[in-house]
Structure formats: structure tokens, C-alpha cells
Structure 1
Amino acid sequence: MNKDQDESPQEPQKDLVASSTVNTTNISAESKNSSAKSTSGFTSQKQLLALAKQFVLDGALLPEDKQMPLEERVVRRERLSRLRQQQNLESIVKKSLAYCPNASNSAKADPDWFSRFTHLAEDVSNNTMQDLWAKILAGEITHPGSFSLKSLTVFKSMSITDAKLLAKVCSLAVKDTSKKNMRILSGAYKTPGLLSFFSKNTQSKVNLNQCGISYTELLSLADNHLIFLQEAESNELQKGEQVVFNYNGQNLTLTAKANQCGLRFYKFTPIGSELALLISDNPDEDLVSLLKSSLHAHFSVS
């Protein structure tokens, strides 16, 4: 087990970048909207043909006497691709203005970061994902250094499903009082002494499945570099000692019931902690009850 030593980057003011949780909406571009409607209920073959036409990749499907010359098809596809990317970026910039505070800001935005941002975000056409990219942009402009380029690269590879999973796991995450480290409590332990070496009550486990998080989803989060899959351990606490966490804006206090008790948890990576800033506080009401029942042998939870 790894001890709790790593720290994630400093958190910007939450009210500037915190957002509503992810929800599915329509594609922003009108052309894509009509395309989605036209393919609804179609066979896979017809949907593929519609996408090929939309992205100018249907040239070889036409009779030879009706085909546009290959070079012209390349030019047309490149032109439409650049138009789509321009539309995507303009939409993200427009959305981000709503998340930027209308107040003086002495921090200077990094043009190199912004340039890299545009390259990573230019192909994002889904409205929900555009909203998240807009919040990243607003958070970085307001507090430079909030989102690293490494985090942007990871976020680019994430799907809407991945974003929803991040939102779900954030509803279970706690932070320390400095709000720098995020973690998902997974159990507790008591270091056995000579008299309790063979006791069966030295460990307790939090069944995260009861809150909708399976081990497969934890693997997915780890694959996206959002959490460390290996559980970490806190320092051992003596009887009566307390550890206080911030749980989605609320205090969560755990008090040790015996000597040499500690907690186990999955830690968010620095990238995961940064991207978690995009998700608003949305506590899972069942988590506190689950922690009370799961950890009662070692900790009282309030």
C-alpha cells in the first residue's frame, strides 16, 4: 500500500469553474443536427453512408462518370473539415464567456497554452463536451495554471461516457481540509497487536457497488489516468483522534474507535483532481450511510 503523500495541483476558486453535472444534448452544428435526425432509426449501412457523405468520403461510392476528381474531393473535404473546426472553436469561446467573471484580473493568460488548447478542442462538436471545454478555458484564463496541457490531452481522449463516470465518482469523493487531495474511501484497517493478531476485525471494506461504482469502472478511471488503481493508506490514528474531510461542500468527520486505526482509499491523480473541477458538488446521499455501516468497527462517521 502507498502512503498518502502525493499532492494534486492547487485548486482554483470552485465557483468560477464548477458546473452542472454532465448531461446529453444535441450536437451544436446545424448540419450535424440534421444528420443525427436523418440517421435516427436507419440501418447501420445507411448511417455509415450518411456519415461518409457528411465528411466527404463517399466519392468512390458514386458511379465513375459522376465522381468528382480525387484531388478536388481532397480539397473539398479539407475545406469542410476546417470550417467545422472553426465553428467548433468559435462555439467553445462563446460558451466560455459565460463562465468568465466580469471583474478585473491581473493574471496574464498564456498564448502558448491557448494555442495548444485550440488544437486539442477543434474537433469537439458535441454540445455537452463543448460546455466542459468552455469551462476549462474560462478556468485557465481566470486562474492561469489551473489546467495543465497533460490534463487537456487526457480530456481530449475522453468520451461522454467517460465524463459521466467522472461526474459519478466525484459525487463519492472526499477532500482533505486543504482541498488539494481527492480520494474515494474504500475501507479501514487496524494494525493487529499481539492480542488481536488473529482477530477477524482488523479490516473493513466499503462496497462501492452499492453507490453504482464497479471495479470495472475503477479500471476505466485508472486507464484514463484519473485515479490510482492501487489503494493507498492514511496514517494510523489513535483512539478518539479525528480526521475531517470536505465532502461536496459538507464536513465529514471520522473518529477512530481504537488505537492504530487507518483508512484506505483510491486517490485521484493530479489530472483527475484538475478535471474534477469541471463537476459541481453533487453528493451521493447514500454514501454517508454506507460509510457508517461499513466502517463502524473502526470509525464512527458523522
Structure 2
Amino acid sequence: MSRAELIQRLFLRAGVQPSKPTSDVRERQAAVNRRKEVVQLHKLENLQAILDIATTINVGQINEEEIDPDWFFAFVELAENVYSAAMQELWGKILAVEVASPGSFSLPSLHIITHLTQREAALFARAASMAMRNHDHIPRLIVGYHQKRTWFGLFQPAATPPMNLAQYQLSYPDLLTLIDLKLIFASEIESSELTVNQGFSWRMGNQRLSLTARRPGLALVYYKFTYVGAELAKLISKTAAPEYLEGLTRHLAPHFELTKDG
């Protein structure tokens, strides 16, 4: 298929045919009506696909509270423009969760998710698969640690280079994309100083990583997911990232006692 034929095929899906000179008002109006019909048919098919997906999602116990009708019709207006099968699955999950527990997704969150392309969703899924969670369940993408200066170490470097996430298929431009989408916060965050000999537990999927600081002044450095990112991470399909966990373990090993389970 030639480039011109491919472009024409794409526009036909939007109800637009190659132009041809005509002064007939009825022909022009027929073309307008044809496009409207094709667009509306595609939007209906999109909503039907999302409906079919939502009704098959098992979200456990359902809250007796009814869904907000304003939220629902706003959802419909946004969801009718979701064309890819992968994104329709995501929107079906969002609807299922919202019906089971109204208030799970705000309208501003939906507008953010609307701007996600299939590629960006795959990027976010990669980041979510590498994210660690502790007691507050907010995903964090740990990239290293910071050694705070002490009187006995004024002339030692205060920080080590962070991990190169590009080794794990998540480059810095990828992070900037997720930041622009407001799925993770814009800057690295440093945890509070970790207590020496006190264990801290983190989970990544079914894996648990327990770490204990060997000396004072150590803090973890990470990217924290936003509220929307944290909610979306519960729904989006993720694959395990054992190679990242191995790399993180090697990176932290010089200054932390580490134990992996699961």
C-alpha cells in the first residue's frame, strides 16, 4: 500500500473522502452528513467496547452509594473518543472501579488520563512495574540514596550518582513525559534520614525488599507518583521488573543491609 493510499484509508475511518470539484449543494451536504454519521458510529462503538469491558471487571465488594450522574456523563463524553483497544480496557476498568466505589477518580484525573496515548500508557506501565510501595501504598520510583554530611565527613562527597533508569527501558525523556502528564512529581524527593539498624520494608509486586541503614545520615532518593498516578497504577497492566530490582539491590548494597522475599 502506498503512502497516499494509507493516508486516504485513515481519513475514510473519519468519514472523509478525497475531494472532488462540485458545485452541487446537495452533494456537499451529503458529504457532511456522511462524516457526522461515521464519527458518531465510531463514538458509539467506542462506548460499547468500554461498556463490555467494564461489565466483566471484578472489583470485589461494591459500595451501595450511587455514582454521581455528572461524573458519569462527563466520563461518557471523554470515553467516546477512546479508540485503541488497550486504552478502552483502561477506561473500562476506571468505570468499574468508580461504580464500585464512587469518588475513586475525580474529573480532573479523567481529563489527565484522556491525554494518555497508547505509547504513554506503556511508558507509565513500565514505571509502575518498577515502583516500590511502603505502608502508605503510594508508588515511588527509587533511584538511589543520599549521604548527608557530618562533621567527620565534610570532605567526602554527599551524594552518589543515581541509577541510570535507561538501562531498564525508562529513559530520562520518558520520565519527563510522565512528569508532563502529571503522573509523577517533577523533581526527585529525598526521604527523611533512616534510623540506623531499623528495618524498612518495601514491596514491588509480589517481591518484598527489606533494607536497613548501616550508618547514620542515609536517605533514599525517589520520584513519587502523583495522586492520579497512584490511582492509575492500581488499574494499568504491569509486567514484573526483576532486572530493576536486582540493579537497585546492587546500588544500595554498599550502605544498606538488604533482604529480598517473594
> What letter matches 2:193 in structure 1?
E
The secondary structure found in structure 2 opposite 1:146 is: coil
Aligned-pair CA distance for 1:159: 0.8
Aligned-pair CA distance for 1:54: 3.1
1:229-255 CA deviation, whole Å, 9 max, x = no partner?
210010001321222112113322111
Aligned-pair CA distance for 1:53: 2.8
The secondary structure found in structure 2 opposite 1:300 is: strand
282-291 vs 87-96, which deviates more?
282-291
Gap runs ≥5 in structure 2: none
Match of 1:116 in 2: 74
Match of 2:197 in 1: 240
1:51-83 CA deviation, whole Å, 9 max, x = no partner?
233323226x22437895322322221122112
Aligned-pair CA distance for 1:103: 6.1
Match of 2:132 in 1: 174
Correspondence list, 1:16-165, <5 A: 42-58=1-17, 61-64=19-22, 69-100=27-58, 105-165=63-123
Q: For 1:230, which of 187, 190, 198 is the aligned residue?
A: 187
1:180-231 CA deviation, whole Å, 9 max, x = no partner?
x111001101111111111136435222122121111111111111111210
Specify whether residues 274 and 194 from structure 1 end up closer, same or farther in structure 2 by C-alpha distance, changes over 3 A only: same
> What letter matches 1:163 in structure 2?
A
Q: For 1:290, which of 224, 247, 259 is the aligned residue?
A: 247
The secondary structure found in structure 1 opposite 2:153 is: coil
TM-score (norm 2): 0.91
Q: For 1:198, which of 147, 155, 165 is the aligned residue?
A: 155
Q: Give the percent of matched residue pairs that are identical in Structure 1 and Structure 2.
A: 32
Match of 2:177 in 1: 220
Preserved contact between residue 170 and residue 276 of structure 1 (Cα < 8 Å) = yes
Aligned-pair CA distance for 1:95: 1.3
CA distance in 1, matches of 2:174, 2:62: 42
Preserved contact between residue 141 and residue 224 of structure 2 (Cα < 8 Å) = yes
* Residue 272 (str. 1) matches residue 226 (str. 2): no
90-99 vs 290-299, which deviates more?
290-299
The secondary structure found in structure 2 opposite 1:64 is: coil
Gap runs ≥5 in structure 1: 1-41
TM-score (norm 1): 0.79
The secondary structure found in structure 2 opposite 1:205 is: coil
* Residue 253 (str. 1) matches residue 183 (str. 2): no
Specify whether residues 298 and 201 from structure 1 end up closer, same or farther in structure 2 by C-alpha distance, changes over 3 A only: farther
CA distance in 2, matches of 1:102, 1:285: 29
Match of 2:219 in 1: 262
CA distance in 2, matches of 1:56, 1:281: 35
1:69-109 CA deviation, whole Å, 9 max, x = no partner?
32232222112211221121122111110004586641321
Specify whether residues 182 and 122 from structure 1 end up closer, same or farther in structure 2 by C-alpha distance, changes over 3 A only: same
Specify whether residues 100 and 113 from structure 1 end up closer, same or farther in structure 2 by C-alpha distance, changes over 3 A only: farther
Structure with more relative contact order (C-alpha pairs < 8 Å, separation 6 or more): 1
CA distance in 1, matches of 2:82, 2:66: 26
CA distance in 2, matches of 1:262, 1:58: 61
Taking only aligned residues, the RMSD between alpha carbons, in angstroms, comes to 2.1
Aligned-pair CA distance for 1:49: 1.5
124-133 vs 254-263, which deviates more?
124-133
CA distance in 2, matches of 1:199, 1:218: 30
